[in-house]
């Protein structure tokens, strides 16, 4: 019999590449490791999705601590006597315990603290994930079909059980439009917890799939010619006293003044934001017109091709819309660290609140059907069409660089420029294969 003290526990961080990387230690050392964690190296954050470091601003110098957070614990017990998988999410800290300038989780904490201090608002969020399940049976016509649920019933049971036992029960689970494509969403949670849940969900899904002889990939495009995998970030607001703060029946589209200004900030900085929320060389293959994903910088009412969508609610006299009303940011995918992605949304929205921006026009229909002059009048533009273009937009947006801070901005741009250059050497099919394997 294996002594549980000999089991391995890993502490990990979701890095610039959106990968969970870390170090392990024997379970017997857990109490000691809760205080000081494990040693970490600045350049580790420059490892890209291919496991390479094209460039680093840190070189071989520096030492950090990767410290577990109690709410970041995950335990996956297959229940068959096999190895138990156990790990913690962690904060990357300086040796004196201060947050490291490039810690993605600390970046989101900083954004949420600014929103609370300056606007008196708490953000609530949920990440809606789509993924591809290689090895699952498929037949034509399986989109949204019971047959797609039946063919992976054991995987689904194990996944929902793993999510529930780790404190994040599924809100919904369904077979999606694409072949072998599924979607899973967990309940909304306060901002930092929502991002923690997104990191956990991806790794739990991959682990459960592997134990069922399948491979789950969250890559934004797995195969050419089929619909891609997005991550849709739902968000709403509450006051510091806990009252709903997103809904106003007198506001445009039902938006409260703070929600409207926040959304206007998102649209104003959209080109820079997507460099972080859609950060791969193939992310922009998914962000195409007339493909049920974002292409324009618009606010839409119940429009699944808008950059930001005002989500519908049941229209019943006994239902209060205020606590349920939410918006959805649709130009994100799982190549992004949830901490960086949500942090960018919060900082961009806060810029809109600081400036007191008015509600953006709510479009009802395809912006592509409007002429260029009308789109310009409405403030609607095309999102960047490549990772390089998005990185150019991020570099040109002084406010967005300031949100990241000089150290993280330099590291992020260097990391992603290197990834774009490496992928430019690959043909389209090889790129898709590499990203599908990585994510």
User: What average pLDDT does the segment 390-416 reach?
Assistant: 99
Q: Which CATH architecture has domain 107-438?
A: 2-Layer Sandwich (3.30)
CA 391 – CA 412 distance, rounded (Å): 9
Q: Answer whether 363's CB lies under 8 Å from 378's CB.
A: yes
Q: 153-196: per-residue pLDDT in tens? A: 999 999 999 999 999 999 999 988 888 999 999 999 999 999 99
Q: 28-65: per-residue pLDDT in tens? A: 999 999 999 999 999 999 999 999 999 999 999 999 99
Q: 64-104: per-residue pLDDT in tens? A: 999 999 999 999 998 888 889 999 999 999 999 999 999 99
Residues in contact with 323: Cβ distance below 8 Å, sequence separation at least 6, in sequence order: 244
User: What average pLDDT does the segment 401-411 reach?
Assistant: 99
CA 236 – CA 262 distance, rounded (Å): 10
Region at 141 (left for phi over 0; alpha for psi -120 to 50; beta for the rest): left
User: What average pLDDT does the segment 305-316 reach?
Assistant: 92
* pLDDT of residue 1 exceeding 50: no
CA 439 – CA 435 distance, rounded (Å): 6
Q: In 3D, which of 419, 347, 359 has the Cα closest to residue 108? A: 347
Q: 248-298: per-residue pLDDT in tens? A: 999 999 999 999 999 999 999 999 999 999 999 999 999 998 878 899 999
Q: Which two tokens stand for residue 210?
A: 């592997």
Lowest mean pLDDT among 4-8, 69-73, 373-377: 4-8
Q: Helix 270-277 and helix 387-396: axis angle, to 10°?
A: 130
Using pLDDT thresholds of 50, 70 and 90, give the confidence band for residue 152.
very high
Mean pLDDT, the chain, integer: 95
Percent of the chain with pLDDT over 70: 98
* pLDDT of residue 125 exceeding 50: yes
Q: Which CATH architecture has domain 4-100?
A: Roll (3.10)
Cβ burial of 268 (10 Å; 0-12, 13-18, 19+) is: buried
Using pLDDT thresholds of 50, 70 and 90, give the confidence band for residue 2.
very low
User: What average pLDDT does the segment 370-377 reach?
Assistant: 94
Where in the chain are all domains bearing CATH 3.10.20.70?
A: 4-100
The DSSP bridge pattern shows strands 362-363 and 299-301 to be parallel
Q: Answer whether 91's CB lies under 8 Å from 99's CB.
A: yes
What pLDDT does 432 receive?
Answer: 96
Residues in contact with 426: Cβ distance below 8 Å, sequence separation at least 6, in sequence order: 434
Q: 226-250: per-residue pLDDT in tens? A: 889 999 999 999 999 999 999 999 9
Using pLDDT thresholds of 50, 70 and 90, give the confidence band for residue 314.
confident
Where in the chain are all domains bearing CATH 3.30.590.10?
A: 107-438
What pLDDT does 3 receive?
Answer: 52
User: What average pLDDT does the segment 119-123 reach?
Assistant: 99
Q: DSSP letters of 231-285? A: EEEEEEEEETTS-B-SB-TTSGGGB-HHHHHHHHHHHHTHHHHHHHHS-STTHHH
């Amino acid at each position: 019999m294996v002594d549980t003290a000999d089991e391995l526990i890993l502490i990990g961080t979701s890095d610039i590449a959106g990968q969970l990387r870390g170090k392990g230690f024997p379970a017997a050392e857990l109490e000691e490791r809760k205080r000081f964690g494990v040693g970490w190296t600045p350049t580790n954050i420059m490892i890209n999705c291919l496991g390479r470091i094209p460039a680093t601003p840190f070189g071989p110098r520096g030492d950090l601590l990767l410290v577990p957070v109690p709410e970041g614990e995950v335990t996956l017990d297959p229940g068959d006597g096999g190895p138990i998988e156990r790990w913690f999410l962690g904060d990357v800290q300086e040796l004196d315990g201060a947050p490291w300038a490039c810690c993605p989780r600390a970046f989101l904490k900083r954004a949420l603290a600014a929103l609370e201090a300056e606007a008196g608002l708490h953000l609530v969020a949920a990440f809606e994930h789509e993924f591809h399940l290689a090895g699952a049976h498929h037949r034509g016509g399986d989109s949204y079909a019971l047959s797609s649920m039946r063919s992976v019933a054991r995987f689904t049971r194990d996944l929902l059980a793993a999510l529930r036992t780790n404190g994040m029960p599924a809100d919904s689970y369904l077979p999606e439009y694409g072949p072998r494509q599924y979607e899973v969403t967990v309940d909304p949670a306060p901002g930092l917890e929502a991002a923690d849940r997104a990191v956990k969900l991806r790794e739990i899904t991959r682990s459960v799939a592997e134990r069922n002889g399948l491979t789950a990939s969250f890559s934004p495009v797995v195969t050419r010619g089929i619909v891609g995998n997005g991550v849709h970030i739902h968000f709403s607001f509450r006051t510091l006293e806990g009252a709903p703060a997103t809904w106003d029946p007198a506001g445009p589209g039902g938006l409260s003044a703070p929600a409207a200004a926040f959304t206007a900030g998102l649209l104003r900085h959209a080109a820079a934001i997507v460099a972080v929320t859609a950060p791969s060389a193939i992310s922009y293959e998914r962000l195409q017109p007339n493909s049920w994903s974002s292409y324009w910088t618009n606010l839409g009412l119940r429009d699944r091709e808008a950059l930001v969508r005002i989500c519908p609610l049941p229209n019943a006299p006994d239902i209060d819309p205020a606590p349920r009303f939410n918006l959805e940011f649709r130009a994100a995918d799982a190549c992004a660290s949830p901490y960086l992605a949500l942090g960018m949304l919060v900082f961009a929205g806060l810029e809109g609140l600081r400036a007191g921006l008015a509600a953006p026009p709510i479009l009802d229909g395809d912006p592509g059907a409007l002429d260029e002059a009308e789109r310009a009048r409405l403030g609607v533009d095309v999102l960047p069409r490549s990772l390089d273009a998005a990185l150019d937009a991020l570099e040109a947006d002084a406010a967005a660089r300031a949100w990241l801070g000089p150290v993280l901005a330099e590291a992020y741009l260097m990391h992603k420029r290197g990834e774009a250059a490496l992928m430019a050497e690959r043909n389209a099919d090889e790129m898709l294969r590499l990203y599908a394997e990585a994510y």
